Each structure stands twice: as C-alpha cells, then as structure tokens.
Structure 1
Amino acid sequence: MATAIVTGATGITGSAIVEHLCKDSQYKQIFTLSRSQPSSSMSDKIKHAHMDLQSSAEDMAKDLSHVSGSVIFFCAYLARDDEGEAAKVNGAMLQNFLDALKITGELKQVKRIVLTCGLKQYGVHLGQPKQPMHETDAILEGGNWPPNFYYSQQRVLMDNAKANGYTWTVTFPQDVLGFAKGNFMNECTALGLYCSVAKLAHPDSELPFPGSKANYMAFNCWTSANLHAKFCLWAAQAPNAANQMFNVVNGDTESWQNLWPRMAARFGCKVPKEMFPGGDRSKYDGFEASGPSDLHDPAPVAVQATSEEVGIGMGMPDLKKPSTLYQQVDTTKWAKDPKVMKAWETLRDKYGLDQQAFDKATWGFLTFVLGREYSCVTSMSKARKMGWNGYEDTWDSFEETFDRLEKAKILPPVSQLKKETPLSS
C-alpha cells in the first residue's frame, strides 16, 4: 500500500490529484499540504497539514514532523512578475521542502516525486514555439533568454533524486481546465464570466471573440485537471515513467473557430454576423482593443529555426522575428467598463454570485491566451508509447468545469441566463 503527500493541495491541479487519490485503493493515507485549511475532507484517508513553502527548511520540518509518503505530488508554485525572482523563489521552495523531509528522516521513504510544470517549458509565454512541441525540444537558456523557474525546479529535483535515491517524473500540462474552491486563477472562471456578462452587457447578447483573428483560427491543446490527475497517478507507479518528462494534454487538438460558437450557444449568446469586421486588427464596437505588442525577441521557435548540425535545424532563419499579442476587446479594461460592471452586479444580486470571482478573475491571463497570434500544439507520442491511453474531449472539459462553477455560485445557472435580455434593450 502506498502513501502520498500533495503540496499545493488546494490549487486546481493539486485538488484534482487529491480527489483521485481518495478513489485509488492503492493509497491508504494522503497528506495534503497548503498554507490554507481545506474547507472539508472528502475522505478519512486525508490528513491535512498547514505549511508555508516560503519558510526555512527547519520551520517546514516542524510542520512535517508527522508527515510521510512514498509518493510526493508537488503542485505548488509562487507567481512572481520578475522571471529571475520566480526562478529563485520556486527553486528554493522545492529545495527547502526536500531538506525539511531530510531533517524529519522521511525523505528516505520517498520512492517517486511527480512535479507539475507546464508549457512555459517551451517558452509559449515568450512567443511561437516549434509545432508540435516534444519533450526533447531544446530548453531556452543562455543568451538573452529570461530565467525559467521550471528549469530551476527540475535541477533541484534531479540533483536531490541522485543524492537520495528516489525517482522523479515531470508533467507539462497546457491551459488547465478545472476548478478549486476559493481559487479563481483559472481560464474557465474568466471565460465563463465573460460569456455570462456578455449576455446582458453586449448589444443583442453578441459574443465577440476578445482575442485576435489569428488566435481564433489557430490550433491549441488543453489539459483537463481531471485527466492530468489520472496521468499523475499513472506516472507515480509506472516503472518506465521514472526519471522522465511528459507532455500531458487531453489528446485532441482544438480551435476557437470550433469552440467559440459552442460557447455562445451554451451561454445563450449570439455569434456576431462578422466576428472580425476590420480583419486581424479589428476592434469590437464599444470596447477598447489592446496591442499589437511584441513578445520576446526572438520567438522560441528560433532555437529550432537553424542549426549547425545537419538534420536538426528547420532551415528557416526568417522565423526569428518576435511573435505578437493582440485583443480586439481588452478583457482587463472590459471588466472595468460601466456597462459590464452593471451587468455583472445584476447577475450577482439575482443569483447570489461570489463577488470575489469577478474581482480576482485572471483577465490578464485571458488577454494572453486569446490574444497570442500563434498555435500551441503538443505531442503526446512519448506518453502513448509508454502505455498511457487517457483521453478527454476538450469541450467536455469546458462543460464539466462550467457546471462546477455554477454549483459554486461563481457563474449563473445557464438555464436561467438564457432567459435574460440585454440591459440596453
């Protein structure tokens, strides 16, 4: 029988892993660690411990004195605006945690650590990467590439594994679709609020795509938090997953040209007769646009664009120019528009919705994921070849998450929302 430790247990990826651990008969005990207390315990297998990952190894050891596990799922991270600071803080956080377990003597019980990272591994936040992305793609380091905290954490993980005799697995999910109570930092919350409020705030309940035409037509992959959790449990036990890194996406390739009409239908909105009346640099009437703005120079694909080694480079030196970001509706400014705020307050008061959801929604992240003018497609071949056969339809992932957000009083019930009329009519 296995025991597990989950850090970041109240976050979107961490809470999903805890949920699946509770259902898995292989695990007899689960220690959940976070700075906050869980609102409830879904299983008597769970024991929660308060722990501040920003504290010293010695202080963490006091909180971990009763905690042990054969498998660790490390899902915690701290966001920082400065990339160098993020690398320093998150690398130290993981190192101090491992040192704390060494102080308590429990690190010797650990068989495998599963670390959750993401597609920043390939620099998707910096611009267009090579498509599709593979785990063997070169990392973006040296020269004028900014620090990457994933690389810092991976080095800490690998160095400590070699010194202490455990194995490791690293996952790269993409634009995770999921929900955790009290956590509003996710794509579905902001998207669901945008669509719900548009029903009342926009003329004729039109639902303009906030991002660019290029993004609307691009191809992308998403990761269900539910599927990612299943993958992590598989990776924790699969012998051939030891000391490996894996892309983890749903398994389909999707596009907003297919998903956006479904969003409109779900929330009772209308697709505009002409989504981009001014072309790729259009501006939806009544709302501010944002950009275009350049991302990192050069784009990440430049690493593979050329190579001195024959057969390795793409032979396309012209790909080095920076990628751009553009939104025909700047969602950060949209959320502060008087018409939008009035529509939100109407829905909030009528359906008893959580004001924090709107206040803390990640509008800036939505600006990026809908405004980047390039595709983000990853390969699942490596995991498939090693025996992983999990799959989830991306639209089903959106639907399931929206349903949960409704039950949590973050989004209004669509059955009632569809009956609402625009405030201006």
Structure 2
Amino acid sequence: MTPDGTTTQSTDQRSALVVGASGITGSALVERLTRDGWEVSALSRRAGTRDGVRGIAADLRDPEGLRSALADERPTHVFFTAWQRQATEAENIAVNSAMVRDLLAALDHAPLAHVALVTGLKHYLGPFEAYAAGEMPDTPFHEEEPRLDTPNFYYAQEDELFAAAERQGFTWSVHRSHTVIGHAVGNAMNMGLTLAVQATLAKELDLDFVFPGSEAQWNGLTDMTDAGLLAEHMVWAATSPEGADEPFNIVNGDVFRWRWMWPRLAAHLGVDPARVVGFSGEARPLEQQMAPHEAAWAGIAERHGLIESDITRVASWWHTDADLGRAMEVVTDMGKSRDAGFTGYRRTEQAFADLFARYRADRLIP
C-alpha cells in the first residue's frame, strides 16, 4: 500500500461491483476504486451517473430483476454495502439475508475472487429490538467474541456470505464499522449530515445546540468510522492475502469523549458557543427536540439556495438518537487489522470538519 493508502497491487483485469453505491459507504467505495484505477460498476435502485463508472439500476428484493440486470456483469470483486430497515428484526433477517443471497446467486457466472460485506457493531451490541441490552462482551470489542444469543440480521447476512463463498469459490471479508460518517443524501443512518442539519436549525431559529444523548455517551470513551477509511479497509482486505476469509473491526483509530467533541463540532458548524448545551441530567432525543422545527427546513433551504428541501432526506434523527443514547461506553479494538498489515487512520474531528466543508460546497447546508 502506498503512503496515500492506494493499493500497490496491479488492477489489471480487476473489476468491482459496488452494491448500495448511492449510500455513504458505497459512494466512498466508488470514489476510492475509480481513483485506484479499477473498472467499477455501481448498483443502486436508481442508476447514478459518474464518469468512468457503469451505473446499474436494480432492486435487491427482486431476484429475477437482479439476475437480468447482472447477466452481462463479470466482476472479480463485490463490495456489498446495502441494507433495508424493516419493522421487526425477524423481517430485517428475512429481507437483508435474502438480498445478499440473491445478489451472489445472480453472479454465479462471474469470476468472483472476493466479496466484502459491511456490517457493524450491532454484531456485538445486538439488533435494534434488543440494542445494547442484556449480556454483551466487554469493550473494546474484539472480532473473536462469540455471537450473541439473539437473532440478528448481521449474522444472517454473514451466513449467506459464507455459504455462497463455499459454493462459488471466492474469499470473503466482513467489515464491522462503528457509526459511519460520510457524504450521502437520503441515507437512513447519517450522523454527520444529521448533526449539521441540527446545527443549521439551531442557528436559523435561535435555538440551543443540545447534545441529545446519554450520560454514558457524554462522559465515556467512543470512536467512529470515516467512510473513506472504511472504503480503504475494504479494498485492502479484498486485495491482500491477510484479509481473506476474516471478519475485521474498522474504526478511525482515535478515541474521544462527546463532552470534548460536541463543542468542537459546534465550532466547525458556526454555532455560537453560548448556545452549545451538553448533557444536563437526561437524554434529549433529536426526534423530540426537532419535531417542532422540521417544517422550517424548506424555508431555510429556499433562503440559502440549498439543493434539498426535504428534511427527511438530510436528517436521520432516530439513528443519531440510537447511537448517542446508548447507556454504555462503546469502543472498538483494531489490533487484528493492525497485525494483518492495515495501518489506515483518520482523526475523527478532522473527518467531521472535512465532511461539513463538503456539505457546504455541495449546498446541503448553508
């Protein structure tokens, strides 16, 4: 790997299919792979347009449509980043495991060498219905921890990946990220843009910028995952012998406390320090804080010439509330990746700052 993190191996005859290419991680992967000289196909429900990338429109919940859309595709590497949230974990398992199974079955004609799957720390924390509840492994989380005795769609996705690898003869990797921050619109789990929208509403409506989470999150150590680093990690595992047939945690490599980070993010977002409020006795979820103010977003967008006037496309209150509302410290061990040769790192505050600057440049926030 070169100093800038690009792969040193030849990309001759290497082609990538990025599944979920319009999401936070998928977008970062498309950028990474094209920069590294790969032939890239990008699959999403609506085919995107990007120089040097072949867009494929397909519904992952339509097996016949998938097979038709992928009939002429012959990727050597698949990067699977998609998921669809359902009302119950049983439905999450049924839908999301089927998407992995059907996608890989539709590529049974392709010369697949490696498939990389993104999951996350719910592998250790449990699914939404039992999130951070019951008995869990101690932190920092390590990859060798056994699965929880709770149904979890991440486990079901892994099992479909393992079964397809055995049938089709490719190697695999699983990438367990913490909260991912990166550039995307309309994503169901986007803390970076959500906090930027919260700060914009606070400034425009003369509100306090209130930390929404728990005392444990305010005072405890935590970490995060930059989407660009996650993409770098996935490409490393997909092209390195040390990455084959292994699960890996992937976080930025630094740790912080929200009581330290919150005022710094406020400064990057231009919030008056006098209006920055930390944890003060109880959690104040964004879904409740922001509900009376959501209607103002359309006017703010029009006034500042922003490209997205639908607040539901730029803010995912529920997901940020879930992450910042956990009643336990959450940190992640990166030793396995380091031992295997991955040395990528991001400073989380700088990752946020760079992301906010990009949002401004793209007219997502003022």
Is the structural similarity TM-score above 0.5?
yes
Distance in 2 of aligned mates of 1:330 and 1:173:
23
Structure 1 residues 183 and 404, CA gap change in structure 2 (3 angstroms) = farther
After the TM superposition, which residues 5-404 of structure 1 pair with which residues of structure 2 at under 5 Å, given as runs? 5-25=17-37, 27=38, 29-38=39-48, 40-42=49-51, 44=52, 46-56=53-63, 58-102=64-108, 105-106=109-110, 109-123=111-125, 125=128, 126-127=131-132, 129=136, 130-141=138-149, 145=150, 147-183=151-187, 185-202=189-206, 206-266=208-268, 267-271=270-274, 275-277=278-280, 280-281=281-282, 327=283, 329-338=284-293, 341-342=295-296, 344=297, 347-353=300-306, 354-358=308-312, 361-404=315-358
Residue correspondences, number: 346
Partner of 1:286: none
Q: CA RMSD in A?
A: 2.0
8 Å CA contact 1:83, 1:148 repeated in 2: yes
8 Å CA contact 1:11, 1:180 repeated in 2: yes
Distance in 1 of aligned mates of 2:289 and 2:246:
42
Percent same amino acid among aligned pairs?
Answer: 32
Partner of 2:6: none
Distance in 1 of aligned mates of 2:278 and 2:179:
24
8 Å CA contact 1:207, 1:271 repeated in 2: no
Q: 5+ residue gaps in structure 1? A: 282-326, 413-425
8 Å CA contact 2:262, 2:278 repeated in 1: no
Structure 1 residues 273 and 33, CA gap change in structure 2 (3 angstroms) = closer
Equivalent AA in structure 1 for residue 144 of structure 2: T
Distance in 2 of aligned mates of 1:212 and 1:185:
19
Equivalent AA in structure 2 for residue 175 of structure 1: T
Structure 1 residues 179 and 276, CA gap change in structure 2 (3 angstroms) = closer
Please say which structure displays the higher CA radius of gyration: 1
TM-score, normalization by structure 2:
0.89
TM-score, normalization by structure 1:
0.77
Residue 227 (structure 1) shift? 0.6
Q: 5+ residue gaps in structure 2? A: 1-11
Partner of 1:415: none
Residue 214 (structure 1) shift? 2.6
8 Å CA contact 1:264, 1:271 repeated in 2: no
Residue 392 (structure 1) shift? 0.3
Distance in 2 of aligned mates of 1:405 and 1:218:
28
* Deviation digits for residues 249-292 of structure 1 (CA, Å, limit 9, x no counterpart): 00001111111111222223225687455xx33xxxxxxxxxxx
Distance in 2 of aligned mates of 1:200 and 1:258:
24
